[in-house]
Amino acid sequence: MTQLDDNVAKLSGYLARFRTGGIPNRIAGQDTAGAGGVFQSVSPVDKSVICDVARGTAADIDAAATAAHDAFPAWRDMPAKERRAILIRIAEGIEARAEEIALCECWDTGQAYKFMSKAALRGAENFRYFADQVVQARDGQHLKSPTLMNITTRVPIGPVGVITPWNTPFMLSTWKIAPALAAGCTVVHKPAEASPVTARLLVEIAEDAGLPPGVLNTVNGFGEEAGKALCEHPKVRAIAFVGESRTGSMITKQGADTLKRNHLELGGKNPVIVFDDADLDRALDAVIFMIYSINGERCTSSSRLLIQDTIRTEFEARLVERVNNIRVGHPLDPATEIGPLVTQEHYDKVTSYFDIARQDGATIAAGGDVVGDTGYYVRPTLFTDARNDMRIAREEIFGPVLTSIPFTTEDEALHIANDTPYGLTGYVWTNDITRALRFTDRLEAGMIWVNSENVRHLPTPFGGVKASGIGRDGGDWSFEFYMEQKHIGFATGQHKITKLGATAPQ
Ligand code: NAD
Confidence class of residue 494 from pLDDT cuts 50, 70 and 90?
very high
**Ligand 1 pocket check for 231: Cβ under 6 Å:** yes
- pLDDT 10s digits, 200-254: 999 999 999 999 999 999 999 999 999 999 999 999 999 999 999 999 999 999 9
Protein residue whose Cα sits closest to atom 20 of ligand 1: 227
Catalytic entry in 265, 297, 316, 444:
265
Distances from the Cα of 401 to the Cαs of 99, 251, 288, in angstroms? 29, 28, 10
* 3-state SS assignment for residue 142: strand
| Confidence tier at 133 by pLDDT (50, 70, 90) | very high
**Average pLDDT score over residue span 8-23:** 97
C-beta 171 within 6 A of ligand 1: no
Atom of ligand 1 nearest to the CA of 265: 41
Helix %, strand %, coil % for the chain, to 5?
Answer: 45, 20, 35
Contact 163, 180 (CB under 8 A): no
Q: 169-183 and 80-96 are packed helices; what angle lies between their axes, rounded to 10 degrees?
A: 170
Mean pLDDT over 330-335 rounds to 97
Q: pLDDT, tens digit, for every residue of 252-309?
A: 999 999 999 999 999 999 999 999 999 999 999 999 999 999 999 999 999 999 999 9
Q: How many CB atoms lie within 10 A of CB 490?
A: 9
Measured CA distances, 51 to 107, 218, 327 (Å): 12, 17, 29
To test the pocket of ligand 1, the residue of 163, 218, 290, 456 to mutate (highest count of ligand atoms within 8 Å of its CB) is: 163
Is 60 exposed, middle or buried (CB count within 10 Å of its CB: 0-12, 13-18, 19+)?
A: buried
Q: Which of 299, 337, 444, 453 is catalytic?
A: 299
Does residue 215's CB lie within 6 angstroms of at least one atom of ligand 1?
no
Whether 506 shows a pLDDT value over 90: the answer reads no
CATH of 271-450, one of 3.40.1280.10, 2.60.120.10, 3.40.50.300, 3.40.309.10: 3.40.309.10
Looking at the domain that runs over 3-266+464-487, which CATH code has it been given? 3.40.605.10
Residue 416: CB atoms within 10 Å? 20
Of 464, 423, 171, 482, nearest in space to 297 by CA: 171
Mutate which of 126, 242, 269 for ligand 1? The one with the most ligand atoms within 8 Å of its CB, which is 242
Q: How far is CA 433 from CA 279, 284, 407, 456, in A?
A: 13, 19, 20, 22
The ligand 1 atom nearest the CA atom of 246: 2
Distance 464 CA to ligand 1 centre (A): 15
Averaged over 152-174, what is the pLDDT?
97
Ligand 1 centre distance from Cα of residue 191 (Å): 10
265 as an active site residue: the answer is yes
With a 6 Å cutoff on the Cβ, whether 398 touches ligand 1 is: yes
User: Running DSSP on this structure, what letter comes out for residue 389?
Assistant: T
Fill in the DSSP letter of residue 62.
H
Ligand 1 proximity of 467 Cβ (cutoff 6 Å): no
- Smallest CA-to-CA distance from 83 within 208, 173, 209 is with 209
Q: Is the CB of 229 under 6 A from ligand 1?
A: no
- Is 473's C-beta closer than 6 angstroms to any atom of ligand 1? no
DSSP element (H, E) containing 231: helix 228-232
Phi-psi region of 308 (alpha: psi -120 to 50; beta: other; left: phi over 0): beta
Dist. CA 249 → ligand 1 center (Å): 11
pLDDT digit string, tens, across residues 417-435: 999 999 999 999 999 999 9
The residue whose CA has the least distance to atom 18 of ligand 1 is: 224
User: Is the beta carbon of 424 within 6 A of some atom in ligand 1?
Assistant: yes
The reported pLDDT for the residue numbered 290 is 98
Residue 160 has pLDDT above 90, yes or no: yes
Q: Which tens digits make up the pLDDT trace of 166-194?
A: 999 999 999 999 999 999 999 999 999 99
Q: Whose CA is nearest to atom 35 of ligand 1?
A: 243
What percent of the chain has pLDDT above 90? 99
Write out pLDDT tens, residues 75-87. 999 999 999 999 9
Q: What is the pLDDT of residue 1?
A: 82
195 lines ligand 1 (CB under 6 A): no
Atom of ligand 1 nearest to the CA of 168: 43
Beta strand pairing call for 483-491 and 381-384: unpaired
Nearest-atom number in ligand 1 for the CA of 230 is 20
Q: Hey, where are the domains in the chain?
A: 3-266+464-487, 271-450
Instruction: Tell me, using a 6 A CB cutoff, whether residue 350 lines ligand 1.
Output: no
Q: Is 314 a catalytic residue?
A: no
Q: Which residues of 441-450 are buried (b: 16+ CB within 10 A; e: fewer)?
A: eebbbbbbbe
Pocket lining: 341 vs ligand 1, CB cutoff 6 Å: no
Alpha-carbon dihedral of residues 404, 408, 413, 415, nearest 10 degrees? -110
Amino acid at 504: A
Separation between Cα atoms, residue 345 and residue 208, nearest integer Å? 36
Distance, C-alpha 83 to centroid of its chain = 24
Q: Tell me how far apart the alpha carbons of residues 18 and 21 are, in angstroms, rounded to a whole number.
A: 5
| Per-residue pLDDT at 9 exceeds 90 | yes
Atom 23, ligand 1: which residue's CA is nearest? Answer: 243
Taking alpha carbons only, the member of 285, 301, 294 closest to residue 109 is 294
